[in-house]
Structure 1
Amino acid sequence: MLSTLKVTGRILATVSVIALATAGMPTAAFAQEAPAAVQPDIAEGVSAVVNDDIISSYDLVQRMKLLILTTGFQPTQENLPQLQAEAQRQLIDERLKKQELRRVEKENKTTILATDPEIDEVIAEQVQGQFKVTPDQFYAQLAQQGVGRDTYREQIRIEYSWEGYMRGRYGSRLRIGQDQIKAVQKRLSDAASKPQYQVSEIFIDNARVGGPDIAFNGAQSLIAQMQQGAPFPQVARQFSAAPTAASGGDAGWVSPGEMPPEVDAVLDSVRPGQLSAPIATQDGVYIIFVREKRAGGTTSLVTLKQAAVTVDASADQAAVDAASASLEKLRALKPTCADLETKAGQIPDIVAGDMGEMEVSGLTGGFAEAAANTPDNQLSATPIRTDVGVHLVMVCGKRNAGGNLPTPEQIERRLQSQALDLIGKRVLRDLRMQATIENR
């Protein structure tokens, strides 16, 4: 039965922005630079009511502070409404989840909500992995900024318990067929010849935030925060509605066709290390961070080292022959990729070094022929003359670009995770529709 969604008004906290003191901050905690924090200047009141469960203004300000501290968000008078709205949405969703978990516990006479020891273990892993601090250091930093440890613990408890409940109730019912796995394998195999991008993503859901305009403006604000130093993974964990939020937005390596068409259209224009502009899609807005690019699987890549003797372009043939003779002395020492530099150092005038990995098609002159025809861990058969010297090339590895395709087991786990995420969103959507929610 659909119940009435009551909106009686939105409270906007009056806040002032103060600098976050850095004294005593644990190394690498929260952000590279200390973010700003909000200091509430409001009387205690009610921010929202969810099925008679009250969210106080104190709860709201605590969550706002937690978002700031864990993401590096720099609050201003302009972006405070976005921050408050996100904090309120999180608290409402968590109340709905907790109410549902309590209902199921009572109905089935079981325990679903995680115990304190379980949460201690989860938090220890998270804060050490994300912020490089111990739980005690983390709690101390929260306390220093007026955030109670229960504010963070309750957020983690509900999300961890909800994920466990979803897996327990629906995970065993999910059947990922071999036809689905084979379809993904074929798509990935076909895409292996295309350029690939290692990306992280943030997705702002239109339906969750109240429409496409709000989502787009919110994405712009998050980009501005990250350009000022807010770490992408922390922002993704708190603000993204994508399944990858739990892993800091890490979507791994993707090829054209794996993401929405609007995202595919801009992937190639974003250089490694850059953020995209907001990308509007039918369901929401994406922010993409391209960490690395690589060529398609049909491109041959080779890792090379070289040994060379400097010879000017104007040098006579005798000088070239002398350089070649020195290089043949190096060949006689039977060097490998592991000791080329060491053995080259035993012969005067020879300098050896790493050329790195490159596309064979991008090499010129004798280097391309040498890279294509020289066996691994051996020097090229003949010296290569260039304007700067005489060279021998050593091949230290060859591969096709694109990397290894995931195993069927990895594909199955990914499909299960995606399916569970969709189920969780549908269950939460139904809970919202059935609930009486008053925003004040």
Structure 2
Amino acid sequence: MKDRLNWAALACATSLLTASLLTGPTGAQTVRDDDSPAASLKLPSNITLFGKSDPSVRKATAIVNGDVITETDIEQRLALVMAANEGRISPEEKERLRGQILRNLIDETLEIQEAKANEITITPAEVDQTFARVAANSNRTPEQFQAFLRAQGASERTLKRQIEAESAWSRLQRKKIQPFVNVAEEEVQSVISRLTASKGATELRIGEIFLSANPANAAEVLAGGQKIVENVRGGASFVAYARQFSEASTAAVGGDLGWVRPEQLPDVLATAAQGLATGGISDPIAIPGGYSIIVKIDERKVLTADPRDAVLSLKQVAMEFPKGTTQAQAAPKVEAMAKAARTIAGCGQAEQVAGALGATVVGNDNIPLRDLPAALQNMMVNLQIGQATQPFGSLDEGIRFLVVCGRDDPAAGNAPSFDQVLAQMEEERVSRRAQRYLRDLRRDAEVEYR
């Protein structure tokens, strides 16, 4: 299972389908009929409201089954989101996020409470260990990471609370749900047969944010979803939004749904995904139970060798410029770098070339080509050993080029093993039951807003 807290640089850092995508025919229900669940409430068509209520005024704090969520808790979690999005959130959006964060904190409280009721406790040492891994993923020590969080207006306490909730909820699922999930051998073999028959078909890697909605709040949820899309298109982190606001089980891994074929998705999502360029994000899409926002992370052919699955050994030749250097002053050095990149005779010359340029050399092995930025992937997909990219970068960050020292090209793909498919199907069913479990906890909770 993927590390649920691999939040690279705060964010800010596979299942076949998630529960949010397996709830029936596409299209959100907004009209009540005699067969709808709302019909059982026998609500009058014309209603009279008593008293005054302004839903735009949000309560700042809550008491959840006796446990208090303070305004400080909300503000510190908001600061995490702000940091992950480099502050690119408007004042109006911040107000909406406060309401969503409060709901998230209520869910976390319920998860921790239910885990303790089932004799599951995440110790401080376990939380600290995971916190240290998150810090390492952002290239900081735990102490440096604590200082960074405080500088952003957050604290280690709010991230550790999230770690505790995710760990407790995961362990609770393993105890109370996973042992009772069964997948028949025939089901697994059927999936493998379909994958083998689909060799060469298009497969997409999809990220998702699911926002639950009902007829009463659909307009508000849709507006919030549209704001998320607007912010992500403006440069905000999809992963950060997914971690904090998605109600799908994939929230813990930044919304990463994994590799799926379009036909595995509901029609409306498949159509949207196929219409996206790599890296593109959809508008909110109405599905049963709410709205889904998807991003197309990548694309490949099923069980077919893809050059972008190559693993590279690289050397990077990099040159930095003193602060205040102008474009004209840098131009001769950039030209020298470009000439060196065109004429370098393999990685063995990297140190010699760098010395002549006044540059530095860093070597890296086992770099998946897919992990590089899209522009570099396109540039390097056909490079042979000893060849270099053209220089890239900026005056502020310096310029560099990469030399290919080694290349392990992928073999033609094989169908996943029985155990891999079984694990994916079991994880999907566990996630679906976990969503229902949390829904029941919300329904039975005593929540007092203040």
TM-score by length of 1: 0.61
Aligned match of 2:221: 215
Q: CA 1:432 to 1:198, structure 2 compared with 1: closer, same or farther past 3 Å?
A: closer
Aligned match of 1:153: 160
Aligned match of 1:432: 442
Aligned match of 1:92: 106
Q: CA 1:301 to 1:165, structure 2 compared with 1: closer, same or farther past 3 Å?
A: closer
Aligned match of 2:122: 114
Instruction: Please give the secondary structure, in 2, of the residue aligned with 1:274.
Output: coil
Aligned Cα RMSD in Å? Answer: 3.1
Would you say 1:55 and 2:69 are equivalent positions? Answer: yes
Q: CA 1:75 to 1:163, structure 2 compared with 1: closer, same or farther past 3 Å?
A: same
Q: Give ranges in structure 2 of 5+ residues lacking alignment.
A: 1-7, 13-58, 309-344, 347-407
Q: CA 1:279 to 1:405, structure 2 compared with 1: closer, same or farther past 3 Å?
A: farther
Cα distance per residue 1:51-88 (max 9 Å; x no partner): 23222222222222222223446232221232111110
Alpha-carbon distance, 1:206 to partner: 2.3
Tell me if structure 1 keeps the 8 A contact 2:249–2:435.
no
Alpha-carbon distance, 1:139 to partner: 0.9
Tell me if structure 2 keeps the 8 A contact 1:233–1:248.
yes
Which amino acid in 2 is paired with 1:114? Answer: I
1:258-269 correspondence to structure 2 within 5 Å: 258-269=264-275
Q: Larger % of strand: which?
A: 1
Which amino acid in 1 is paired with 2:415? Answer: L
Of 421, 427, 431, the residue aligned with 1:417 is: 427
Instruction: Please give the secondary structure, in 1, of the residue aligned with 2:114.
Output: helix
Instruction: Please give the secondary structure, in 2, of the residue aligned with 1:113.
Output: coil
CA distance in 1, matches of 2:90, 2:168: 34
Q: CA 1:70 to 1:296, structure 2 compared with 1: closer, same or farther past 3 Å?
A: closer
Of 251, 258, 264, the residue aligned with 1:252 is: 258
Tell me if structure 2 keeps the 8 A contact 1:234–1:248.
yes
Q: CA 1:187 to 1:203, structure 2 compared with 1: closer, same or farther past 3 Å?
A: farther
Aligned match of 1:287: 293
CA distance in 1, matches of 2:185, 2:84: 41
Would you say 1:79 and 2:86 are equivalent positions? Answer: no
Which amino acid in 1 is paired with 2:260? Answer: V
Alpha-carbon distance, 1:29 to partner: 4.1
Alpha-carbon distance, 1:262 to partner: 0.9
Alpha-carbon distance, 1:92 to partner: 0.8
Aligned match of 1:363: none
Cα distance per residue 1:214-256 (max 9 Å; x no partner): 3322221112222222222222222222222222222222212
Q: CA 1:169 to 1:63, structure 2 compared with 1: closer, same or farther past 3 Å?
A: same
Cα distance per residue 1:378-425 (max 9 Å; x no partner): xxxxxxxxxxxxxxxxxx99987xx43322111111112112212222
Aligned match of 1:203: 210
Q: CA 1:183 to 1:243, structure 2 compared with 1: closer, same or farther past 3 Å?
A: farther
Cα distance per residue 1:166-189 (max 9 Å; x no partner): 112222222221122123223333
Alpha-carbon distance, 1:301 to partner: 8.3
Q: CA 1:244 to 1:73, structure 2 compared with 1: closer, same or farther past 3 Å?
A: farther
Which amino acid in 2 is paired with 1:252? Answer: G
Identity %: 31
CA distance in 2, matches of 1:126, 1:300: 33
Tell me if structure 2 keeps the 8 A contact 1:30–1:72.
no
Tell me if structure 1 keeps the 8 A contact 2:101–2:244.
no
Which amino acid in 1 is paired with 2:433? Answer: I
Would you say 1:406 and 2:416 are equivalent positions? Answer: yes
Instruction: Please give the secondary structure, in 2, of the residue aligned with 1:181.
Output: helix
CA distance in 1, matches of 2:411, 2:431: 36
Cα distance per residue 1:3-36 (max 9 Å; x no partner): xxxxxxxxxxxxxxxxxxxxxxxxx84479xxxx
Tell me if structure 1 keeps the 8 A contact 2:111–2:168.
no
Instruction: Please give the secondary structure, in 1, of the residue aligned with 2:263.
Output: coil
CA distance in 2, matches of 1:302, 1:70: 32
Of 120, 128, 143, the residue aligned with 2:136 is: 128
Tell me if structure 1 keeps the 8 A contact 2:300–2:306.
no
CA distance in 1, matches of 2:148, 2:409: 48
CA distance in 1, matches of 2:94, 2:409: 53
Cα distance per residue 1:85-118 (max 9 Å; x no partner): 111011111221222223233xxxxxx2211221
Q: Give ranges in structure 1 of 5+ residues lacking alignment.
A: 1-27, 33-44, 106-111, 304-340, 343-395
Tell me if structure 1 keeps the 8 A contact 2:242–2:255.
yes
Instruction: Please give the secondary structure, in 1, of the residue aligned with 2:92.
Output: coil
Select the structure with the greater relative contact order (CA < 8 A; seq sep ≥ 6): 2
Between structure 1 and structure 2, the one with the greater Rg is: 1
Which amino acid in 2 is paired with 1:284? Answer: G
Q: How many residues align?
A: 300
Aligned match of 2:330: none
Q: CA 1:73 to 1:235, structure 2 compared with 1: closer, same or farther past 3 Å?
A: farther
CA distance in 1, matches of 2:306, 2:107: 49
Aligned match of 1:39: none
Which amino acid in 2 is paired with 1:179? Answer: E
TM-score by length of 2: 0.60
Tell me if structure 2 keeps the 8 A contact 1:191–1:256.
no
Q: CA 1:69 to 1:397, structure 2 compared with 1: closer, same or farther past 3 Å?
A: closer
CA distance in 2, matches of 1:261, 1:60: 37
Would you say 1:183 and 2:195 are equivalent positions? Answer: no
Tell me if structure 1 keeps the 8 A contact 2:205–2:257.
yes
Q: CA 1:62 to 1:300, structure 2 compared with 1: closer, same or farther past 3 Å?
A: closer
1:28-39 correspondence to structure 2 within 5 Å: 29-30=9-10
Tell me if structure 1 keeps the 8 A contact 2:104–2:245.
no
Aligned match of 1:321: none
Aligned match of 2:392: none
Of 78, 82, 99, the residue aligned with 1:64 is: 78
Tell me if structure 2 keeps the 8 A contact 1:302–1:399.
no
Q: CA 1:128 to 1:220, structure 2 compared with 1: closer, same or farther past 3 Å?
A: farther
